[in-house]
């Protein structure tokens, strides 16, 4: 797995636009960018369990466990620095970030070897490899989590590079991580598809000028479409996805 994250051209300023207009998918397809959490594997339930346990320990919400709805609306897909301010606004920043680090360690412990590729992902990965498409993982997850998930899913040799938000100036929902992914792969945004599952990640992909196919396992389809997803699939066996890929392949001939 390459650790070459590349560097953004400092002479160019990328403006984040919270756009709700979806991008079209253009042929020929050149590259695929994948989020990791919730996109390659259904990891959100494990994150939810870890947050429930740790937030209860510090008396968050009066000790009442957070709901799944709260998790989806306020936590899923966000970067830890943002979450430290959101969940623990009265804490000293270093202490809040240590809490987040401890939560991530608990997540890795709970995840263990339980992570499994989403249904249909094997079929899509083979389709990508057969066509020699460029590919990268782009994530808000901290490096230890990203490495653990990619290794446990057996995808270390699949991705050409992994872009971590912590190595970018701004995390998702800003476009910076996806722009860095495009730059590292030397790919055109109009000929690249992003696979995402979160609202913030979908906004980031759209703001970077790419079509986003959202995996609607945990986040409501309505919110993903409002965030700019071109369309939403239930998993990688969804016929909607394969009809789209077949149409693109036909146009590229």
Q: Is the peptide bond before 5 cis (omega within 30 degrees of 0)?
A: no
Backbone angles phi, psi at 34, to 5 degrees: -110, 135
Strand spans (E) along 25-184: 31-34, 134-139, 161-164
Q: Enter the tokens of residue 52.
A: 């429930």
What distance, in Å, lies between the first and last C-alpha atoms of the chain?
31
pLDDT tens digit at each of 253 positions of the chain: 443 333 333 332 233 333 446 777 888 999 999 999 999 999 999 999 999 999 999 999 999 999 999 998 899 888 999 999 999 999 999 999 999 999 999 999 999 878 999 999 999 999 999 999 999 999 999 999 999 999 999 999 999 999 999 999 999 999 999 999 999 999 999 999 999 999 999 999 999 999 999 999 989 999 999 999 999 999 999 999 999 999 887 776 6
CA distance 238 to 226: 20
The residues assigned a catalytic role are: 35, 37
* pLDDT at residue 13, rounded to an integer: 29
**What's the chain's length in residues?**
253
SS3 115: coil
CA distance 23 to 219: 20
* pLDDT at residue 249, rounded to an integer: 77
Q: Enter the tokens of residue 199.
A: 């609202």
* pLDDT at residue 248, rounded to an integer: 82
Distances (CA, A) of 234 to 12, 28, 184, 216, 239: 37, 25, 29, 5, 10
What is the DSSP track for 140-165? Answer: SS-HHHHHHHHHHTT-TTT-SEEEEG
Neighbours of 114 (CB within 10 A): 12
Residues with Cβ < 8 Å from 73, sequence gap 6 or more?
Answer: none
Q: Enter the tokens of residue 87.
A: 């969940």
Strand spans (E) along the chain: 31-34, 134-139, 161-164, 192-196, 211-215, 231-233
Residues with Cβ < 8 Å from 10, sequence gap 6 or more?
Answer: none
């Amino acid at each position: 797995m390459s650790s070459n994250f590349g560097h953004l051209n400092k002479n160019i300023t990328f403006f984040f636009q919270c756009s709700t207009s979806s991008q079209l998918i253009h042929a020929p397809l050149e590259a695929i960018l994948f989020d990791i959490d919730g996109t390659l594997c259904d990891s959100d339930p494990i994150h939810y369990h870890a947050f429930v346990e740790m937030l209860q320990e510090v008396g968050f919400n009066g000790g009442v466990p957070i709901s799944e709805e709260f998790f989806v609306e306020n936590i899923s897909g966000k970067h830890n620095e943002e979450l430290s301010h959101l969940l623990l606004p009265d804490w000293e920043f270093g202490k809040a970030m240590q809490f987040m680090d401890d939560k991530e360690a608990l997540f890795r412990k709970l995840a263990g070897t339980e992570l499994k590729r989403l249904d249909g992902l094997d079929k899509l990965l083979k389709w990508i490899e057969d066509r020699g498409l460029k590919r990268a993982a782009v994530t808000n997850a901290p490096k230890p989590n990203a490495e653990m998930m990619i290794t446990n899913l057996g995808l270390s040799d699949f991705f050409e590079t992994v872009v971590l938000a912590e190595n970018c100036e701004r995390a998702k929902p800003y476009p910076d991580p996806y722009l860095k992914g495009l730059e590292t792969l030397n790919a055109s945004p109009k000929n690249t598809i992003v696979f995402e599952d979160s609202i913030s990640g979908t906004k980031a992909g759209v703001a970077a000028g790419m079509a986003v196919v959202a995996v609607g396992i945990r986040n409501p389809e309505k919110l993903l479409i409002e965030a700019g997803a071109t369309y939403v699939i239930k998993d990688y066996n969804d016929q909607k996805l394969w009809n789209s890929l077949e149409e693109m392949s036909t146009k590229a001939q």
